[in-house]
Amino acid sequence: MFEEFLLSKGMVGTFAIAAGGNFLRYCLFASLGYLLFYIIMKQRWQHMKVQSAAPGRKQLLREFLLSVMAFCIFGLEAIIVFHPAILPYTQFYFDIHQHSMAWLGCSILLMIVIHDAYFYWMHRLLHSRLLYRTTHATHHTFNNPSPWAGYAFHPIEAIFEGGIIFVFAFDFPVHPLALFVFVLWSSFFVVGGHLGYEVYPKWLTNSKVGFYLNTSTNHNMHHKYYRGNYALYFRWWDIGFNTTHKEYYKTLEEIQQRTASMKQNPQSAALNP
Ligand SMILES: [Zn+2]
Ligand SMILES: [Zn+2]
């Protein structure tokens, strides 16, 4: 049914679904993060802020406009991959019973793990001399990003970022429902990484599994220092290839300590990191 719907709507319909869908999920996650952390709880949660300064309106507008442009590029990539001439060569399947429910779950996990590796190595490449100035520097103009910065890319970087859809399309069977769940997962981490507030408690990041989770501190430091902390969802590539910023653990500890002090004694906690 979804396949027929997609084909019946043509290229304009595919573009609208892909670009519009990406825009809606971005607005949902980024506005929730912004409203909660930068407006409603701004003062009360200041102790969790990685960098004390708040982004100005000009920055927010630029983050938003660049993100909208990226979604248009994602929409164009969707036109290619869902084009009637290309679609039969992909491994997308639209009848959920064509593969087991276990596969549906596995395909989501596979997309997360593959995208995590894809992003890390793409990100390392974007930091090469060849590509940094012409592409990735745009994303790095925000050295203290807000939740609206998650998709604020140079158009060439947006092509690379959206290119993951081609990896999924041709490598293993993917149902639109799995893709939808994956996109929600991805949005959570992308907006979380640019939130600028450390929300993970110490017990979580000190646990065996939580230690490998990417944190908002981690990605904020990447924007602040330009080098190190290239991870997206998990930090294992950074750990394995020794690209964790040397100040990361100390910075994370300091922010989590402020939060712990705040809980114990709200009056004594330092408000300005
Ligand atoms: Zn970067
Ligand atoms: Zn970023």
Q: Which pLDDT score, from 0 to 100, does residue 114 have?
A: 98
* Torsions phi, psi for 33 (to 5 deg): -60, -45
**Dist. CA 222 → ligand 1 center (Å):** 6
CA of 150 to the centre of ligand 2 (A): 6
| pLDDT for position 264 | 79
Least distant ligand from the CA of 147: 2
Distance 156 CA to ligand 1 centre (A): 14
Parse the chain into domains and list their residue ranges: 2-199
The closest ligand to the CA of 149 turns out to be 2
> What does the alpha-carbon distance between residue 31 and residue 208 come to, in Å, rounded to a whole number?
32
Q: 214 C-alpha vs ligand 1 centroid, how far in Å?
A: 14
The overall average pLDDT reported for the chain is 93
Taking only the tens place, the pLDDT of each residue in 96-130 is 999 999 999 999 999 999 999 999 999 999 999 99
pLDDT at residue 187 tops 70: yes
Report pLDDT for 272: 47
Tokens for 49? 């802020």
Q: Looking at residue 120, what is its pLDDT?
A: 98
**Mean pLDDT, range 136-143, rounded to an integer:** 96
18-40 residues labelled b (16+ CB within 10 A) or e (exposed): bbebbbebbeebbeebbeebbee
Smallest-distance ligand from the CA of 219: 2
CA–CA gap between residue 220 and residue 52 (Å, rounded):
12
Calculate how far, in angstroms, residue 268's C-alpha sits from the geometric centre of ligand 2: 33
Kindly indicate the confidence band of residue 265, based on its pLDDT and cuts at 50, 70 and 90: confident
Q: Which ligand ends up closest to the CA of 144?
A: 2
Å from CA of 241 to ligand 2 middle: 20
Ligand located closest to 63 CA: 2
Report the distance separating Cα 244 and Cα 113, nearest Å: 19
The ligand placed nearest to the CA atom of residue 226 is 1
- Ligand closest to CA 146: 2
Task: State in Å: Cα 88 to ligand 2 middle.
Answer: 35
Distance between CA 238 and CA 212 in Å, rounded?
A: 10
Which ligand number lies closest to the CA of residue 119? 1
Instruction: Kindly give the distance from the C-alpha atom of residue 193 to the centroid of ligand 1, in angstroms, as a whole number.
Output: 12
- Report CA(93)–ligand 2 centroid distance (Å): 32
What confidence category does residue 66 fall into, taking pLDDT thresholds of 50, 70 and 90?
very high
Q: Write out pLDDT tens, residues 207-223.
A: 999 999 999 999 999 99
Q: Is the pLDDT of residue 142 over 80?
A: yes
Question: Closest ligand to 192 CA?
Answer: 2
Residue 103 CA to ligand 2 centre (angstroms): 31
- Distance from Cα 126 to the centre of ligand 1, integer Å: 7
- Asked if 152 and 66 count as a contact pair (C-beta separation under 8 A), the reply is yes
